Amino acid sequence: MEPRIVVLASGSGTLLQALLDSPIGGGIVAVGSDRSDAPALGRALRAGLAAFEVDPGGFATRGDWDTAFFEAVQACRPDWVVSAGFMRILDPVFVSAFPGRIINTHPALLPSFPGGHGVRDALRHGVKVTGCTVHVVDEGVDTGTILAQRAVPVLPGDTEASLHERIKVVERELLVETLTQLIGATS
């Protein structure tokens, strides 16, 4: 039986699309977002998947949103949760419910440049090589076990946008390869 995967995305969904087009795409059962205008939700619907959005603006506290989002994901009965461009930190209750089964991508070579601005921070630091990381989500910010990394050179004249676009291409490939190996090894 194919593992059930829920993908979380806040943006365009190019990581989601890479997964949909891969051998594990058939295991994706739902896509969740924190933004109703996330193009990733449209990609999910066009692929015939369940899509849901839990808007943080509709809750009195962050804790209330955390609970509602967790319940929405849990209702999909996932074996794996993939954070693919999801720009919110998952709370400890969520993380502990799926120990070692929440996977995230990050546009830097962790542990360097964690957080929401990895590409910008790498450029500001003046590195000559950056890249992307696929890691297990834990209760920290980009501190979980590193599963795979791939380097991307910083080219003369790179801007945050140009470098990030090159990283995204590698990030999509690395996420698909890593999840295919990881999920294939556990199913």
- Quote the pLDDT of residue 89: 93
Question: What is the per-residue pLDDT across 30-76, written as a single tens digit (0 to 9) for each?
Answer: 999 999 999 999 999 999 999 999 999 999 999 999 999 999 999 99
Residue 74 token pair: 């849990």
Catalytic residues: 106
Check residue 109 and report its DSSP letter. -
Residues 6 or more apart whose CB falls under 8 angstroms from that of 38 comprise: 9, 10, 11, 12, 13, 53
Q: With 70 as the cut, is the pLDDT of residue 119 above it?
A: yes
Q: Please, which pLDDT band fits residue 185 given cuts at 50, 70 and 90?
A: low
Domains of the chain: 5-186 (3.40.50.170)
Please report, for residues 92, 135, 171, 174, the alpha-carbon distance to residue 25 in angstroms, rounded to integers and kept in the order given: 27, 19, 16, 15
- Quote the pLDDT of residue 177: 97
- Tell me the mean pLDDT in the region 145-167: 97
The whole-angstrom separation of Cα 163 and Cα 165 is 5
Question: What is the per-residue pLDDT across 140-155, written as a single tens digit (0 to 9) for each?
Answer: 999 999 999 999 999 9
Q: With 90 as the cut, is the pLDDT of residue 173 above it?
A: yes
pTM here is 0.94
Mean pLDDT of the chain: 95
Residue 147, SS3 per DSSP:
strand
